[in-house]
Chain A
């Protein structure tokens, strides 16, 4: 029964991954046969300023974007889990940005971020004079200022938390109603209910979602940076690991070097999985009700 899946897994994932990881120790330009290079790629990575910037960008992105995404998803899930007037369209709206194709989503934001006629900056300029905001400050230069560009990529990613939202919505709806009724009888405040009941009961799911999002953040920063900012503003303000690997491999044709960077990215993922495993073990007691 598992055979077709196993064939696919081995043939399409495991073997290419093994080949790629082997290539990490070679010099390969996709034209000439690969030549063994030992740890040369790795030691070059360590000193490569572009790689360092890309790694730092990826980590900062993960540390800022992931909490924002999960918090937004949690907030929306807790707001919208009840059957109420307007709840259904609101839930659809929360999910919608996630189902837009990535390229279309990127192009849409390219227009939204346009410093002159983009809706975001037009909105920010409302009430201000001479192209400034109402506070007399220059509106963010989304596509040309390094910090603003990083913020722009994070802003883009925050709205694609639909899957996390759906999982949290389901998790919240699966919580027993009677414990909330006990809380109501004890006159617990909304904050007490959130802090003492909802949050601890949802903690196992939240922990898994955070780790999942950490892993995924290495990937979902690729299309925004590729389509909207093209890795810039120059030199490398929004070059993330994934974009760095893509450029190195397919534009500069340094396939072995790109494979070495992939190896680093994979080690980061493994580290995240280990954390996930630990968290899961710690919270497993909760599921044994």
Chain B
């Protein structure tokens, strides 16, 4: 498998739900998206994951037509919409801020897109009601946004997005303004809604848990490029680069030179020649291995039944280990650290790309 297969969709099909074909975009003279190739299948929920400034929101805005492309084409449901204005692309968008009209009632907010497209009033009201019912906001129809809680506004924004049955839903960090409990609940509802509608959705987030839980596939973005596209399992088990490996997972994956100080046990994979790095997740670290590498415990964080031990190897490298809270070491303890080859990921030290499958 070569690098291109790992980092991009090998074949760009224009008949998918959404296709970006070599799209670049700039914001105030700074290039934000670089030659991006990405395909979202019809009915798929793609989560775009990446740190701030990776170009996630710009990607959505380019699809919506709110920002122009500098190169490349955008295809939605088999149509080349690159030159179309936003209103002609048949997409709807849920903004991070929800962007509700403060002077309109919830019913009027939801029906806005229908009313300006000259759908008869009675029909528009009926469809707004049914959209509100789908997201559990039917009891809010007479209220104004100022009278709603964050979660309720979120539901209204969702209802407004789905009332028109667009070709693609674009969701720009829709859950980031909610508190944790509500975020978890809305996450599940969003997934259920997607399964019910079977619509093509692109969901942008910087929250890796949200991405792993919600997505059919995840596209990891970095500096305006697609670093990896894959199912949550693929992203987790075979990260295509050191960046993906470090970004997905909390605490982040440990990455050390393959030359040491840790020497994993078992048989090393083929292709270990050259300058390599090995990565292993905190849960792969085993403490108390008799022939392991010596380390001291800097601090221990207990999260319920798990504990994360932050260690410093004798050579000075930091390593995080997940251990059962019941058997956690104490601060300052000397421990011996071991890892198995089977639990490691190998990356090229120079390019950061995964080099062993």
- The chain A residues found within 8 Å of chain B, CB to CB, are 176, 178-179, 181-189, 192, 196-197, 200-201, 203, 285-286, 288-289
Contact with A along B71-113 (1 / 0, CB 8 A): 0000000000000011111011101010111111000000011
What residue in chain A is nearest B92 (Cβ atoms)?
Answer: A185
A288 engages B86 (CB within 8 Å): no
| A-side contacts of B85, CB under 8 Å | 184, 187
A-B complex: 6 closest residue pairs judged by Cβ atoms: A187-B87, A178-B99, A186-B113, A188-B116, A200-B103, A184-B86
| B-side contacts of A192, CB under 8 Å | 116
B92, B116, B145, B146 pick with most chain A CB within 10 angstroms? B116
Report the minimal beta-carbon distance from B172 to chain A, rounded to whole angstroms. 10
| A-side contacts of B112, CB under 8 Å | 182-183, 186, 188, 196
What residue in chain B is nearest A180 (Cβ atoms)?
Answer: B99
| B-side contacts of A286, CB under 8 Å | 102-103
Contact with A along B174-214 (1 / 0, CB 8 A): 00000000000000000000000000000000000000000
CA–CA, A59 and B117, complex, Å? 43
B88 engages A285 (CB within 8 Å): no
B99 engages A187 (CB within 8 Å): no
CA–CA, A288 and B65, complex, Å? 32
- The chain B residues found within 8 Å of chain A, CB to CB, are 64-66, 85-89, 91-93, 95, 97, 99-104, 112-113, 115-117, 144-146, 160, 164
CA–CA, A186 and B85, complex, Å? 10
What are 5 A-B contacts defined by CB distance under 8 Å? A176-B97, A178-B99, A181-B66, A196-B112, A288-B146
A182 engages B146 (CB within 8 Å): no
A187 engages B101 (CB within 8 Å): no
Partner pick for B101 among A185, A197, A285, A288, CB 8 A cutoff:
A197
| B-side contacts of A187, CB under 8 Å | 85-88, 116-117
Partner pick for A201 among B95, B103, B160, CB 8 A cutoff:
B103
A contacts with B: majority SS: helix
A188 engages B87 (CB within 8 Å): yes
Question: Given A185-B87, A197-B101, A289-B145, 9 other A-B contacts at CB below 8 A?
Answer: A181-B86, A181-B93, A182-B160, A185-B65, A185-B86, A186-B87, A196-B115, A203-B103, A285-B146
CA–CA, A24 and B55, complex, Å? 71
Report the minimal beta-carbon distance from B155 to chain A, rounded to whole angstroms. 16
B146 engages A185 (CB within 8 Å): no
| A-side contacts of B86, CB under 8 Å | 181, 184-185, 187
- With contacts A185-B86, A201-B103, A286-B103 taken as known, whether A178 is within 8 angstroms of B116 at the C-beta atoms is no
| B-side contacts of A179, CB under 8 Å | 99-101
A181, A185, A200, A201 pick with most chain B CB within 10 angstroms? A185
CA–CA, A184 and B176, complex, Å? 24
What residue in chain B is nearest A192 (Cβ atoms)?
Answer: B116
A285 engages B144 (CB within 8 Å): yes
CA–CA, A186 and B110, complex, Å? 11
Partner pick for B93 among A185, A196, A200, A201, CB 8 A cutoff:
A185
B146 engages A178 (CB within 8 Å): no
CA–CA, A20 and B86, complex, Å? 63
CA–CA, A289 and B102, complex, Å? 7
What residue in chain A is nearest B66 (Cβ atoms)?
Answer: A181
| B-side contacts of A185, CB under 8 Å | 64-66, 86-87, 89, 91-93, 113
- With contacts A187-B88, A288-B146, A289-B146 taken as known, whether A182 is within 8 angstroms of B95 at the C-beta atoms is yes
